[in-house]
Amino acid sequence: MFITKMHLNRRTFLKGMGATVSLPLLDAMIPARTLLASTAARAVPRLAFVYFPHGAIMREWSPDGRILQPLAPFANRLTIVSGLENRHAYGPVHAITPGTWLSGAVGGVTADQLAAEHLGCDTPLPSIAVATEQATKICAGVWEGKYEESYGTTISFRKDAPVPMEFRPRTVFDTIYQRASGSTSVLDLVADDTASLRKRLGPSDRLALGDYLDTLREVERRVDNKDEAGVEESFVRRMTLMFDLIALAFRADITRVATVMIAAEASSMTYDHLGVSDSFHLLSHHQNDPQKIEKLVRIQAFHTRMFAGFIRTLSELPDGDGTILDRSTVLYGSNMSDSHAHDHFPLPLALVGGRLPGGQHLSCPDRTPISNLLLTVLRRAEVPVDNIGDSSGEFAGL
């Protein structure tokens, strides 16, 4: 296939005093008479790692289970992976559970940062790491002082240094668009550049640019809106915003790697809108009480519903001759299995995206290292890694 459009550099951006707005892929960025695979429209991998705390009610973590039901519209892009364990997460429970999820070890660079080292060379931000609530220190009990405190507050590590999970949407927005502190809209700051660019674009590109800028303005409005809602409503709004910000960053190729903590480890959040007024963490110690288990399923299905909204957004964003989801692999799961037992086998894990075969339930031999999955995901995303954590090989079925 040959492209016959006039050429605009892929790294064209809108610049103003105190803001920089990277652009989505436009037809004008594809050089004339050039094979698609050799242009800016080539299928560039994106990776996202979305973590939820306190494990899952495993009997509902199945193709027909209620927790994964919100992902049913994407069944052909979904792979459930079962039989995996993270043996390095045992010990002070919540204090090291998040920090060992993407490394398969205590210490070392996590999968997202290995990807960022390779995929982030050509993007303004190598990666972004976000959360939906502020993390707090988690007591390690008798292990106090033996583990870094950060293992309980982040899922991302760069050469043994923790990558903080930013929970303030405005800070994330300002980082993505290099907006200086203040309330001025980035679109107002780059208005002159925008007007100049529009004159150079064809009709279809003007429409694409307009759609992108309209979305950006709406997200910015929500980011800058003074939040006077209750804590619970703020939590839901923040989660939606964080997913929308990642989608914007992927669309404009600001970054190709993202990590998300859907809720803080040992979160005390309540979910009154689901009819659950119990603290999430306290409820996770369910003691096999059917009523508590039912409430946990509601919370876990809600998290998946929010995640499914993110997947839907990626599936609707054009990228070359496909969509952002076509280019993406998203790992969704937890580093804990049964929250009452505080165990780490079998882990609830699922992959969604277009870079791996979907529509399957991959059942691995019991206690296969989670590192094998991480290794496979990285290699399929064209990240050249020999191993990660305690990996013993990649999966042939992915």
Is the pLDDT assigned to residue 52 strictly greater than 70? yes
Binning pLDDT at 50, 70 and 90, where does residue 250 land?
Answer: very high
* Beta bridge mates, 350: 80, 332
In a 10 Å sphere around its CB, with 0-12 CB exposed, 13-18 middle and 19+ buried, how is residue 227 labelled? middle
Q: Tell me the one-letter amino acid at 378.
A: L
Residue 35 has what pLDDT? 55
CA torsion sign, 17 to 20 to 24 to 30? positive
CA torsion sign, 113 to 216 to 191 to 167? negative
pTM: 0.95
Q: What letter would DSSP give residue 381?
A: T
**For the chain, which domains are there?**
43-171+234-380 (3.40.720)
Residue 3 has what pLDDT? 41
CB 287 within 8 A of CB 295: no
Is the pLDDT assigned to residue 1 strictly greater than 70? no
How far apart CA 312 and CA 307 sit, in angstroms, is: 9
Q: Tell me the one-letter amino acid at 320.
A: G
Is the pLDDT assigned to residue 230 strictly greater than 70? no
Work out the average pLDDT over 334-344.
Answer: 97
pLDDT in tens, 94-137: 999 999 999 999 989 999 999 999 999 999 999 999 999 999 88
Lowest mean pLDDT among 78-82, 229-233, 259-263, 293-297: 229-233
**Can you read off the two tokens belonging to residue 207?**
């429409």
DSSP-H helix ranges across the chain: 111-119, 169-176, 186-189, 191-200, 203-224, 231-251, 280-284, 290-316, 324-327, 370-380
Residue 2 has what pLDDT? 39
Instruction: Output the average pLDDT for the chain.
Output: 92
Work out the average pLDDT over 208-213.
Answer: 96
Work out the average pLDDT over 159-176.
Answer: 93
Lowest mean pLDDT among 146-155, 180-189, 190-199, 300-309: 180-189
User: Could you identify the residue written with the tokens 């998946």?
Assistant: 304
Query: Which of these, 189, 187, 209, lies nearest to 198 by C-alpha position?
Result: 209
